[in-house]
């Protein structure tokens, strides 16, 4: 006899990266009963900054200071991009709702009406739209080339202050670096940003860090660290360190896995857990799906004895691409993993990938994915909606190279918003009908 847990819900969201978490967030706000499925996503590989849109790939790369202006002309150049299903007002609203909810939980983001330049650990400039507030003073410090002390740590092999200083020396000569032992890490040769961020949740460790850094500061106006100043209470931690050290502090984005990316995921989860109509079924993959005559979709999670089932009226796919596990490729073609939905394939004449990794046009395979209608329901090759209660959001969508266009977070959040709106409208109509 096999034991099978079964749960009924209005909406099942598959995938818990930025798109999945955002979809669940918009849904529970509308009071829609939601179950979030699937693993942690690949978002801890993101920088923590929220991109909207800054670049058009092509023979020559076009960079846009103003993402809204870029959105205005996008349909001319990319007529099928997911953003073409959205009004700028909807995108703005969606981003603001998420940002406000994060802010209420103490995870602040800053930005301007245009894109900003963020210095990365390689000394490159990342152009993005909303910057974690922990990095924001760095944007200004870089603009003004203010004197700045950059502190990094013995054993933190993913971050090199000397590299950053040397690379920026010409444009920002007033950077000085110091490398110190991170408090309470004696005996650990290798340090990891996520682990150090966790340890800074302890006041004792913060005190020791401040004591170690204080004597190093000369006349610098800013103090910079790799992005590891706390995981859950980063705002308070940074404020406390600033008070102890007497200078504004900022973080520099690092190699993945990134602490600011994790902060985003953790805070979103925290927000969702506050809603009684929200449930999470984590850890297991969807192993089987079945669509009943009523249209209800039955999702089986895991295999065999310990599997469970979720019966849902609406399903949202936010499973990501190859790394997230939403798409899978064999030598011949790309498949969608859960529903085996039709996938827009790279055109055979142009090949999957360019010969140059950094080709300014980007790679075809990164624009493969799901074709959707105006409310983000996957469609088949004839343009017909596959299931009227199945949606797809985020990076799995076709015609959007999130890595090159720098539009990952924006597409994830805004497509989730629009899809939930559609579900919500149907839901409310049904409610009224049944009354």
Partner 1 sequence: MQTQVLIIGGGCTGTGLARDLALRGIDCILVEQRDINAGASGGNHGLLHSGARYVSNDPHSAVECHAEAELLKQLAPQCIEDTGGLFIAVQGDDERYISDFQSCCDREGIWCRPVDFQEAGELEPRLSAKLIGAYAVRDASVDPFRLSLENIGQAMELGAGYYNRHRVIGMKAGSCLLHSVLIRNVSSGEDLEIEAEVVINASGAWAGQVAALAGISLEMLYSKGTLLVAHNRLTSRVINRLRPPSDGDILVPGGTVSIMGTTSLQLPDLRDIRPTRQEAREMVKQGAAMLPGLPDTRFTRAYAGVRPLLKSDDADGRAVSRGFALIDHARDGLENFLTVSGGKLTTFRLMAEKAADLTAQKLGLRTICRTRTEALPETHIGKWSEGGRSPRAWLSSGEAADHILCECEMVPRSHFVQVLDDLQSRQAETPDLDQLRRRTRLGKGACQGAFCSVRVTGVRYELGALKGDQGRRQLKNFLQARWAGQQPVLWGAQLAQAELSEGMHCAVFGLEMEPYS
Q: Pick from 230, 369, 408, 410: which binds partner 1 (CB under 8 A)?
A: 408
Q: Report the nearest approach of partner 1 to the CB of residue 64 (Å).
A: 13
Quickly tell me which residue has 């799995």 as its tokens: 396
Cis peptide before 18 (omega within 30 of 0): no
Residue 169 exposure: Cα atoms within 13 Å on the Cβ side: 7
Angstrom distance (rounded) from CA 263 to CA 138: 19
How, if at all, do strands 34-37 and 5-14 pair?
Answer: parallel
Question: CB of 75 within 8 A of CB of 124?
Answer: no
Q: Is 51 in the site for partner 1 (CB under 8 A)?
A: yes
Q: Report the nearest approach of partner 1 to the CB of residue 7 (Å).
A: 30
Q: Pick from 97, 353, 373, 386: which binds partner 1 (CB under 8 A)?
A: 353
Q: Which is nearer to partner 1, 47 or 389 (CB)?
A: 47
Instruction: Read off the tokens for 298.
Output: 């039955």
Q: Which is nearer to partner 1, 274 or 351 (CB)?
A: 351
Q: Which is nearer to partner 1, 59 or 219 (CB)?
A: 59
Quickly tell me which residue has 């996938």 as its tokens: 343
Q: Report the nearest approach of partner 1 to the CB of residue 409 (Å).
A: 10
Q: Is 280 in the site for partner 1 (CB under 8 A)?
A: no
Give DSSP secondary structure letters for 297-310.
Answer: EEEEESSGGG-EEE
Residues whose CB is less than 8 angstroms from the CB of residue 177 and which lie 6 or more positions away in sequence, other chains included: 149, 150, 151, 152, 161, 162, 164, 165
Residues whose CB is less than 8 angstroms from the CB of residue 433 and which lie 6 or more positions away in sequence, other chains included: none
300: number of Cβ within 10 Å:
18
- 101 to 140, contacts with partner 1 by CB under 8 A? 120, 122-127
Q: Is 192 in the site for partner 1 (CB under 8 A)?
A: no
Q: Which is nearer to partner 1, 20 or 408 (CB)?
A: 408
Residues whose CB is less than 8 angstroms from the CB of residue 427 and which lie 6 or more positions away in sequence, other chains included: 10, 30, 32
Q: Which is nearer to partner 1, 171 or 303 (CB)?
A: 171
Q: Which is nearer to partner 1, 89 or 332 (CB)?
A: 332
- 285 to 344, contacts with partner 1 by CB under 8 A? 321-323, 325, 328-332
Angle between helices 88-104 and 67-77 (to 10 degrees): 140
Q: Is 345 in the site for partner 1 (CB under 8 A)?
A: no
Binding mask 17-36 for partner 1 (x = CB under 8 A): --------------------
Sole window of 71-79, 80-88, 271-279, 350-358 interacting with partner 1 (rule: CB under 8 A): 350-358
Q: Is 255 in the site for partner 1 (CB under 8 A)?
A: yes
Distance of alpha carbon 426 from its chain centroid, rounded?
28
Q: Pick from 170, 292, 304, 434: which binds partner 1 (CB under 8 A)?
A: 170
E-strand ranges in 278-412 read: 278-281, 286-291, 297-301, 308-317, 327-329, 334-336, 390-392
Q: Which is nearer to partner 1, 104 or 157 (CB)?
A: 157
Q: Report the nearest approach of partner 1 to the CB of residue 263 (Å).
A: 15
Q: Report the nearest approach of partner 1 to the CB of residue 122 (Å).
A: 5
Q: Pick from 256, 266, 284, 426: which binds partner 1 (CB under 8 A)?
A: 256
40 to 16, 29, 34, 271: CA distances (angstroms): 5, 22, 17, 16
Question: CB of 220 within 8 A of CB of 149?
Answer: yes
Sole window of 42-50, 69-77, 108-116, 291-299 interacting with partner 1 (rule: CB under 8 A): 42-50
Binding mask 59-98 for partner 1 (x = CB under 8 A): --x-x-----------------------------------
Burial of 320 (0-12, 13-18, 19+ CB in 10 A): buried
How, if at all, do strands 297-301 and 286-291 pair?
Answer: antiparallel
Q: Is 155 in the site for partner 1 (CB under 8 A)?
A: yes
Q: Which is nearer to partner 1, 358 or 433 (CB)?
A: 358
Q: Report the nearest approach of partner 1 to the CB of residue 364 (Å).
A: 11
Q: Is 402 in the site for partner 1 (CB under 8 A)?
A: yes
Q: Is 159 in the site for partner 1 (CB under 8 A)?
A: yes
Q: Residue 8: phi, psi to the nearest 5? A: -100, 140
Which residues of this protein are in contact with partner 1, per CB under 8 A? Answer: 42, 45-47, 51, 55, 61, 63, 120, 122-127, 155, 157-160, 162-163, 166-167, 169-170, 179, 187, 189-190, 253, 255-256, 258, 321-323, 325, 328-332, 351-360, 363, 365-366, 402-404, 406, 408
């Amino acid at each position: 006899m096999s034991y099978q847990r079964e749960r009924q819900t209005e909406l099942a969201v598959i995938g818990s990266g930025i798109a999945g978490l955002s979809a669940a967030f918009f849904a529970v706000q509308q009071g829609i009963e939601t179950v979030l499925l699937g693993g942690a996503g690949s978002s801890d590989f993101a920088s923590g900054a929220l991109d909207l849109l800054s670049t058009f790939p092509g023979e020559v790369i076009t960079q846009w200071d103003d993402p809204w202006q870029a959105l205005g002309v996008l349909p001319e150049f990319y007529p099928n991009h997911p953003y073409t299903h959205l009004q700028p007002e909807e995108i703005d609203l969606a981003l603001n709702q998420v940002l406000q909810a994060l802010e209420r939980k103490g995870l602040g983001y800053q930005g301007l009406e245009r894109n900003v330049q963020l210095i990365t650990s390689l000394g490159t400039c990342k152009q993005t739209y909303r910057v974690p507030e922990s990095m924001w003073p760095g944007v200004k410090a870089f603009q003004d080339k203010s004197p700045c002390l950059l502190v990094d740590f013995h054993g933190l092999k993913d971050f090199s202050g000397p590299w950053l200083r040397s690379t920026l020396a010409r444009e920002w000569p007033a950077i000085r670096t110091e490398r110190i032992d991170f408090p309470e890490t004696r005996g650990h040769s290798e340090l990891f940003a996520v682990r150090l961020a966790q340890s800074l949740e302890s006041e004792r460790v913060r005190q020791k860090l401040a004591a170690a850094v204080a004597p190093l500061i000369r006349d610098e106006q800013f103090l910079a660290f790799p992005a590891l100043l706390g995981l859950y209470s980063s705002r308070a931690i940074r404020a406390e360190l600033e008070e102890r050290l007497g200078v504004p502090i900022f973080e520099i984005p690092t190699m993945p896995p990134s602490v600011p990316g994790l902060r985003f995921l953790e805070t979103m989860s925290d927000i969702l857990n506050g809603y009684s109509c929200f449930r999470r079924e984590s850890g297991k993959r969807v192993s089987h799906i079945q669509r009943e005559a009523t249209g209800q979709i039955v999702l089986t999670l895991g295999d065999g004895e310990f599997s469970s089932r979720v019966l849902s009226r609406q399903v949202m796919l936010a499973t990501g691409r190859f790394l997230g596990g939403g798409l899978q490729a064999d030598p011949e073609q790309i498949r969608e993993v859960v529903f085996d939905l039709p996938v827009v394939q790279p055109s055979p004449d142009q090949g999957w990938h360019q010969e140059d990794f950094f080709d300014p046009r980007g790679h075809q395979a990164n624009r493969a994915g799901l074709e959707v209608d105006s409310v983000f329901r996957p469609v088949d090759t004839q343009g017909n909606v596959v299931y009227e209660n199945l949606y797809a959001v985020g990076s799995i969508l076709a015609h959007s190279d999130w890595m090159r266009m720098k539009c990952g977070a924006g597409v994830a959040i805004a497509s989730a918003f629009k899809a939930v709106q559609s579900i919500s409208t149907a839901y409310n109509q049904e409610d009224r009908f049944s009354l």
